[in-house]
Structure 1
Amino acid sequence: MTLLAAEGLNKRFGGVQAAKDVSFALDAGEMLAIIGPNGAGKSTTFNMVGGQLRPDSGRVSLAGQDITGLPPREVCRMGVGRTFQVAQTFLSFTVIGNVQMALIAHHGQTRKLLPDAMAMHRDAALALLDRVGMAAQAERPVGELAYGDVKRVELAIALAAAPRLLLMDEPTAGMAPAERSALMALVAGIARGERIGVLFTEHDMDAVFAHADRILVLVRGEIIARGRPEEVRADAEVQRVYLGHSGTRAATRARRAAHG
């Protein structure tokens, strides 16, 4: 089932064509990676889907419903969650407090915050933290956590909105290699188990080749290749302009990991 469809997206900033006729589809439970060199149009495309940017032309639909140009808050209400390159959390709040705040916002209860906020949705928050492996650290301030654990908390916050689609901007940025692998494996398991579509941008080719179902490659705002990881890896143009030898090494490591 097609969950997300982008059709003919175009965006220009002055004399720069940041996105040119970008079209793709994403199914429920699928992981789709957008990759490319700096300035390729990844963030522009990502932000047109999430509502941060309105395309000059083209259409974005979620489960058949047109969401083109809707503001991010409205896009979120329609079932789209998001994580950011720099994790968006309240560092002075506890882990569980962060997730409770997200649940309160999701249920439209922000006017009832004090003094009862920390008693609201506690069981649901703990269940979300258990899903991301953070229940044991529920009472710790987020500011005390390792960055990989902060990213897991941010994932729980995104899941609090019960999204059908999850947008992840550089999910492994700032993380150690072992943390990157663990986080992406967690995301992939949740996505496939709960039929959540995941659209993500990522510079770590190990994460892309190991966990993406399909890959979209952008260069100078245009799609130059798309397909399953093995197809993209073998594409001569992708090798020439982006992946090079590093992509081959990443793909080899991903294959080895997949086969134990």
Structure 2
Amino acid sequence: MTLLSVQGLHKSFGGVVAARDVAFTVERGEMLAIIGPNGAGKSTVFNMVGGQLRPDQGRVLLDGQDITAASPQKRFRRGVGRTFQVAQTFLSMSAAENVQMALISCHRNSNGLWTPARERHRDKALELLSQVGMAEAADAPCSSLAYGDVKRVELAIALAGQPKLLLMDEPTAGMAPRERAALMDLTASIAASQGIGVLFTEHDMDVVFGHAARVLVLLRGQIIAAGTPDEIRQNEQVRCAYLGDEHALEPPTGVSSA
């Protein structure tokens, strides 16, 4: 069964159409990138899949179950993990404590227990940090870590919920080129070994073409191309969209940018 099925998503803000009839799938272990010029609707589509936005029309199915109306918290507990463009960690807490907080939330045992929080799920937190190459920094506060390392801790936090699907919003933003490749290599390895589907947005085309199995291209809220990285590289309409030559494009009538 397909892991993620996005069916006919539509979203408008006032008179501006941000997404129109967006449909795609993500399989287990697959890395799918969504790209497009600024204002193409990437964030809108991404946030409808993540639950931050409700679509006006369409459905989001995870493992065949309709999660369109589910909150981000409910999606997390159903197997949807997420990382953010700006890493979301508690800077005053250690790397291990950050992961432990995610594990406590996942297990719903934040209240009514006498055991101090710093002792709960520590072994599992260390295991997750080891997966992302951060075991040696487990007790270091996140405020003392390099940004690339904080992004790795955030990945461990996302993995705490044992996700089936991992959403990554601009995962390499703010990172040096070598760090970008290392993070995405790590993500690809984990996704393949654990059968996790990965949906990510990204502006760095080296990251996209080097790691995505398939690429979706949005323009003015609608998918204009989908295929392998090689197919997308050779697509004339995609090249025109990124060059900004709108006269060479034939976008759908009535679709506005957002």
Q: TM-score normalised by the shorter chain: which range applies?
A: over 0.9
**Structure 1 partner of 2:45:** 45
**Structure 2 partner of 1:135:** 135
In the TM superposition, residue 114 of structure 1 has moved relative to its aligned partner by 6.7
Whole-angstrom CA distance in 2 between matches of 1:183 and 1:113: 36
Give the SS at the match of 1:110. coil
Aligned length: 244
**Structure 2 partner of 1:228:** 228
In the TM superposition, residue 75 of structure 1 has moved relative to its aligned partner by 1.2
CA separation of 1:217 and 1:178: change in aligned 2, threshold 3 A = same
**2:151 aligned with 1:151:** yes
Give the SS at the match of 2:3. strand
**Structure 2 partner of 1:162:** 162
**2:123 aligned with 1:123:** yes
**Structure 2 partner of 1:26:** 26
Alpha-carbon RMSD: 1.2
What are the ranges of 5 or more consecutive residues in structure 1 without an aligned counterpart?
A: 245-260
Whole-angstrom CA distance in 1 between matches of 2:114 and 2:85: 31
**Structure 1 partner of 2:216:** 216
In the TM superposition, residue 18 of structure 1 has moved relative to its aligned partner by 0.1
Contact 1:132–1:152, Cα closer than 8 Å, also in 2: yes
**2:134 aligned with 1:98:** no
Whole-angstrom CA distance in 1 between matches of 2:73 and 2:218: 27
Amino acid at match of 1:155: L
**Structure 1 partner of 2:7:** 7
Contact 1:29–1:195, Cα closer than 8 Å, also in 2: yes
**Cα deviation 1:53-110 (Å, max 9, x = unaligned):** 1111011100100111221111111110000001000000011111111111111011
Whole-angstrom CA distance in 1 between matches of 2:112 and 2:139: 22
**Structure 2 partner of 1:238:** 238
Whole-angstrom CA distance in 2 between matches of 1:113 and 1:173: 38
The 5 Å alignment of 1:54-65 reads 54-65=54-65
**Cα deviation 1:94-133 (Å, max 9, x = unaligned):** 1111111111111101115776111111111110000000
**Cα deviation 1:196-222 (Å, max 9, x = unaligned):** 000000001010000000000000001
Whole-angstrom CA distance in 1 between matches of 2:114 and 2:42: 40
Give the SS at the match of 2:111. helix
The 5 Å alignment of 1:184-199 reads 184-199=184-199
Give the SS at the match of 1:226. strand
Whole-angstrom CA distance in 2 between matches of 1:140 and 1:42: 35
Instruction: Output the TM-score relative to the length of structure 1.
Output: 0.92
Higher share of residues assigned helix? 1
Amino acid at match of 2:214: R
**Structure 2 partner of 1:251:** none
Instruction: Output the TM-score relative to the length of structure 2.
Output: 0.92
Whole-angstrom CA distance in 2 between matches of 1:120 and 1:212: 36
Contact 1:165–1:196, Cα closer than 8 Å, also in 2: yes
Whole-angstrom CA distance in 1 between matches of 2:9 and 2:202: 20
Whole-angstrom CA distance in 2 between matches of 1:147 and 1:170: 14
Whole-angstrom CA distance in 2 between matches of 1:143 and 1:31: 30
CA separation of 1:10 and 1:80: change in aligned 2, threshold 3 A = same
Sequence identity of aligned pairs in percent? 66
Whole-angstrom CA distance in 2 between matches of 1:201 and 1:116: 38
Amino acid at match of 1:76: F
Whole-angstrom CA distance in 1 between matches of 2:176 and 2:139: 24
